[in-house]
Amino acid sequence: MTTAEALRDAIAAGRVSERLWLYANYHCNLRCVYCLTDSAPEVPRRILPVPQMVQAAEEARALGFLALGVTGGEPFLIPRMPEVLAELAGRLPVLVLSNATLFTAKLLERMRPLAGLPVTVQISLDSAEPDVNDEFRSPRNFAKVVEAIPKLVDIGIPVRIATTGDHNTAEQMERLCALHRSLGVGDDDHVVRPIVARGRAASNGMGVVAQAKDLHPELTLTADGAFWSPFAPTVRDGRPDTDLLVTRRRLPLEDPTRALLALAHANPAGTDTTLNIR
Amino acid sequence: MSRVELLESDQAPLLARPYYGADGSASPITRALAQVPELLEVAMPLLSRALGEGAIDLRTKEIVILRVSARSGCRYCVDTHTVAAWDAGLSAQETAALCDGELDGDERERALVAWCDTFAAAPAPVSDEVTSALREHFTDAEIVELAVTSGVTLMLNRLCTSLELPTSPGTRARLEETRK
């Protein structure tokens, strides 16, 4: 059986994700308290070179992956990120994760060509209460996010909201949902997930412990190698974790894909769903 | 102090985990190679096959490994395979002789040691005389196995020396106990 055939079967059976994740970088203009990658402005950038991102997308399409994810760090700190997203979207649909604090009028203008392309921006918003949200993320984050979301929606770019943590009561969650609806984001585009006890979250004593068996296998490429999931290439107190490393070699993509499939085959089916952190 | 981080079991990559013991222990070579799990995955079966008992008995293998390691000046491999040689039946006098002098063995082992000395002196060619003496006691297949064992040993000598891998605590304890 070829790697492409094995991947197709594994995706169909739900044993591995259809999405290939790319960590564009590790640096960020924010310093969120639960950040998996210990990201901040001054950390090593560990940038995944754009030509490798494009090559990975090309090979992902050929192998049978069905979607791409781009995360960081803050991906929009990478110069030309809107243009890079357009290149990637020419291969596969893209979900790009962002803190939405960098969408100036100039950047939004460069985002405009992405309207109509299969690109969705996923933005973090943890509470309808500005103080609560900003305590997790950074001062004035809430104001910037609620300003950016409608502007992206207005230019025709789909937006998803990601809420991290279980701190919201039912009433608070209802207010948060009312808020995202008012910003133009429907309920189907709101995901809520727990804080994972890795990276800065672990340093701060936050989150649920997640091992390989608890995480859905989603091949993830970073400057350091190929990892088990986007929750895997974490950094704790400045030190990159290797416990969920699959291979150091990223390309050709078939190499880490084959290794991930072999590991996923040995993973008990269904255990990753218990923590609901897909 | 190792020149690279030797990964503890809690940081062992997924492909490397089978090479760590149930108690989390692993040799310094394993813990270094775990940094590149796809290399570890292919290297460990090769090391096991090349250095372990094969068509050639373990005593002969350990003579080769210890002599080549001593000649190439690898402290880690000399320490590790001094103890391994004892476990394969060599005496403390024999391992000391392999490290610092001439083995007082039979004609077969003397020919083997002479061949190891030439092998470790690469890139100098192995002379007809040394090869002929070896062929008196070993078949072609056995000579190939000896060459693979010696070659893998040299590779490990360079790896362990360049990375300054520390001798395992268990090995160090055995060496100190014997020296008392």
Q: What is the DSSP track for A61-126?
A: HHHT--EEEEESS-GGGSTTHHHHHHHHHTTS-EEEEE-S----HHHHHHHGGGTTSSEEEEEE--
Count other C-beta atoms under 10 Å from residue A213's C-beta: 13
The pLDDT value recorded for residue A273 is 59
Q: Which of B14, B31, B33, B42 would best serve as a mutation to test chain A binding (most A beta carbons within 10 A)?
A: B14
The pLDDT value recorded for residue A272 is 63
Average pLDDT over chain A, rounded to an integer: 95
Domain that holds residue A204: 3-273
Q: Is residue A100 part of a domain?
A: yes
> Inter-chain contact B10–A244, Cβ cutoff 8 Å?
no
The pLDDT value recorded for residue A277 is 57
Distance CA A37, CA A71 (A): 11
For residue range A220-264, what is the model confidence (pLDDT) as tens digits? Answer: 999 999 999 999 999 998 999 999 999 999 999 999 999 999 999
Q: Is residue A191 part of a domain?
A: yes
For residue range B44-70, what is the model confidence (pLDDT) as tens digits? Answer: 999 999 999 999 999 999 999 999 999
Identify the structural domains of chain B with CATH numbers, from first to last. 9-50 (no CATH), 55-179 (1.20.1290.10)
A214 in contact with chain B, both atoms CB, cutoff 8 A: no
Q: How many domains does chain A have?
A: 1
Task: For residue B125, name the pLDDT band (cuts at 50, 70, 90).
Answer: confident
A252 in contact with chain B, both atoms CB, cutoff 8 A: no
Q: What is the mean pLDDT of residues A19-32?
A: 97
For residue range A146-194, what is the model confidence (pLDDT) as tens digits? Answer: 999 999 999 999 999 999 998 999 999 999 999 999 999 999 999 999 9
For residue range A77-115, what is the model confidence (pLDDT) as tens digits? Answer: 999 999 999 999 999 999 999 999 999 999 999 999 999
A231 in contact with chain B, both atoms CB, cutoff 8 A: no
Distance from A199 to chain B by nearest Cα, in Å?
A: 13
Q: Is residue A278 part of a domain?
A: no
Q: Please report, for residues A230, B109, B119, B157, B158, the alpha-carbon distance to residue B112 in angstroms, rounded to integers and kept in the order given.
A: 54, 5, 10, 19, 22
Kind plus residue range of the DSSP H or E element containing A164: strand A159-164
Quote the DSSP letter at residue B180: -
Q: Is residue A28 part of a domain?
A: yes
For residue range A112-138, what is the model confidence (pLDDT) as tens digits? Answer: 999 999 999 999 999 999 999 999 999
Name the 3-class secondary structure at B26: coil
Do the beta carbons of residue B59 and residue B106 sit within 8 Å? no
| pTM over cut 0.80 | yes
Q: Give residue A56's identity as a one-letter amino acid code.
A: A
Strand order in the sheet with A119-124: A190-193, A159-164, A119-124, A94-98, A67-71, A19-23, A220-222, A225-227, A245-247
The pLDDT value recorded for residue A266 is 81
Q: Residue A73 is part of a domain; what is its CATH number?
A: 3.20.20.70
Distance from B12 to chain A by nearest Cα, in Å?
A: 5
> Inter-chain contact A248–B36, Cβ cutoff 8 Å?
yes
